[in-house]
Amino acid sequence: MEIDKITFNDLSVFSEEDLSVFNKLDHTRTTNGRAQLRVNFNTPLQTIDAIQGVQQTIQLIIENRSVWPMRISNGTLMVIEKFYSATIDEIPANPSSFAVYNYKLFHGPDFSLVKYSMRHAFDFIKGMQLFCHYFLQDNSPTPLYKLLSTTKQLLDKEQFVIIEKNNKAEDLSASAQLHLANFLRYRYKQNMTELLAIYAQLDAWYGMAQAMQQYGLAFPQFVETDQPIFDAKGLYHILLSDPVAYEVNLHKENNFLFLTGANMAGKSTFIKSVGTSVFLAHIGMGVPAKEMQLSLFDGLLSNINVADNILKGESYFYNEVQRIKATVTKISDGRKWLILIDELFKGTNVEDAMKCSSAVIEGLVKMKNSLFILSTHLYEIAEDLKKYPNIGFYYFETTTTADQLQFSYQLKKGVSNDRLGYLILQREGVVDLLKQL
């Protein structure tokens, strides 16, 4: 699935701040695993088979987490990397007891570094052997099977038989440790690099499994279809601590959701909930919903947090237009897209915004190959749009009690005509402050 940087930002997938989808779902154990998880997030999968392969892998990890090898730590990986980058005197290949004594005597610091590194290298190789033992089966999920088959080939060295037969490096003699160190440093560096990359992916999947368990996420079901669909029950936003759940059903005959409601009523959160769940589904992750069925989407584009560009002299409205232009150009290719638009044309006057919004919507409704969610405060344009049978009209209700706003955050059918801007201004005391000037 294609997704651009603007959409990543709109959905808060990555962020400089702690509050991002990636940071919340990152339960990896190592720096390498975290880096690989970021790669996974940056590259949504392109086929249902690939997605289901990751889903099955994560499910297998969840079911067998009690035997997941935990002896590989972040420190272990750091020590191994330092072992290959450090400048040390040559390690003897087949050292006798006397050669070991000499290396220790005349190369003391190097001897200490090698022994310390071997303890961690031993744990790493042992851990990778255990991965193959517990998780490499004929019926293992395809991506896991491929990765561990490669691992097994890389571990098929006579020098590693001693690791398989022992539990820790301290069980080996000093001669055996130096012999193993010589092999790893001078004859196994490239293979070790491959193994480290494999472990990074294993750790990324483990982190995804841990996040699914912690937050009670559910695997979505992908439907083989030429038409775009999205059907979710109990959908909520992953970043909210006390979210309200939604039910959403979009398909070819009803592929355009026209959303209205007052500011702060929940429109943006709803739109981001849908976008985030579709994104997570396409990396093989569980989603924040009780149930979800969807088609494979070719792309996901959003128009939520448009900004002006002072350095280029570009106005907010100009950038809105450019984003819409880029979106229309993209989705004219006949592929399946999910398009999310929040408060279209905020950067111009109301009359202009209504005319522009109507023109855009009446063009987009012709595209039956994609799904659209569009929010607006311009409820007046809804009446003219009711002639299009594929548009569904929904709103978020706001009630007032004694000049206090109450938001239910419940998605309802229909069109809102709430006009609460002045009430919010009053509630926040701005009107009183202005009167005192």
Lookup: tokens for 18: 């702690």
Q: Are residues 199 and 303 in the same domain?
A: no
Nearest Cα to Cα of residue 350 among 421, 431, 268, 270: 421
- The fraction of the chain above a pLDDT of 90, given in percent, is 79
Q: Are residues 289 and 146 in the same domain?
A: no
Residue 118: Cβ within 10 Å count:
24
pLDDT of residue 159: 95
Q: Is the pLDDT of residue 310 over 80?
A: no
Q: Are residues 69 and 203 in the same domain?
A: yes
pLDDT of residue 432: 77
Domain boundary among the residues 215, 232, 261 is at 215
Q: What is the CATH number of the domain that holds 118?
A: 1.10.1420.10
Read off the pLDDT band of 353 (50, 70, 90). confident
Q: Are residues 311 and 286 in the same domain?
A: yes
Q: Are residues 115 and 163 in the same domain?
A: yes
Read off the pLDDT band of 403 (50, 70, 90). low
Residue 409: Cβ within 10 Å count:
19
Domain boundary among the residues 164, 190, 215 is at 215
pLDDT of residue 420: 58
pLDDT of residue 311: 38
Q: What b/e readout covers 304-332, taking b as 16+ CB neighbours within 10 angstroms? A: bebeeeeeeeeeebbbbbebbeebeebbe
Q: Are residues 40 and 181 in the same domain?
A: yes
Tens digits of residue pLDDT in 144-156: 999 999 999 999 9
Lookup: tokens for 291: 């149930």
Read off the pLDDT band of 312 (50, 70, 90). very low
Read off the pLDDT band of 427 (50, 70, 90). low
Residue 13: Cβ within 10 Å count:
22
pLDDT of residue 402: 61
Domain boundary among the residues 186, 215, 244 is at 215
Tens digits of residue pLDDT in 210-252: 999 999 999 999 999 999 999 999 999 999 999 999 999 999 9
> Residues 174-195: what's their mean pLDDT?
96
Q: Are residues 166 and 17 in the same domain?
A: yes
Residue 351: Cβ within 10 Å count:
9
- Greater pLDDT, 306 or 319: 319
- The fraction of the chain above a pLDDT of 70, given in percent, is 93
Query: Residue 264 contacts by C-beta under 8 Å, 6 or more apart in sequence?
Result: 398, 405, 407, 424
Read off the pLDDT band of 305 (50, 70, 90). confident
Q: Is the pLDDT of residue 281 over 60?
A: yes
Residue 71: burial class (beta carbons within 10 Å; 0-12, 13-18, 19+)? middle
77-86, 308-317, 389-398: range with lowest mean pLDDT: 308-317
Q: Quote the mean pLDDT of the chain.
A: 92
Q: Is the pLDDT of residue 40 over 80?
A: yes
pLDDT of residue 425: 63
Please give the span between the terminal C-alpha atoms of the chain, in angstroms, as a whole number: 54
Q: Are residues 201 and 61 in the same domain?
A: yes
Q: What is the CATH number of the domain that holds 392?
A: 3.40.50.300
Tens digits of residue pLDDT in 359-386: 999 999 999 999 999 999 888 999 999 9
Q: Are residues 382 and 411 in the same domain?
A: yes
Q: Are residues 231 and 335 in the same domain?
A: yes
> Residues 11-22: what's their mean pLDDT?
87
Q: Are residues 251 and 377 in the same domain?
A: yes
- The helix-helix angle for 174-187 and 74-85 (nearest 10°) equals 70
Residue 383: Cβ within 10 Å count:
9
Q: Are residues 250 and 168 in the same domain?
A: no
> Residues 165-183: what's their mean pLDDT?
95
Four-residue CA torsion sign, 241, 266, 374, 312: negative
Helices (H), 156-217: 161-165, 174-187, 189-215
For the chain, what is the domain count? 2
For residue 295, give its domain range: 221-435
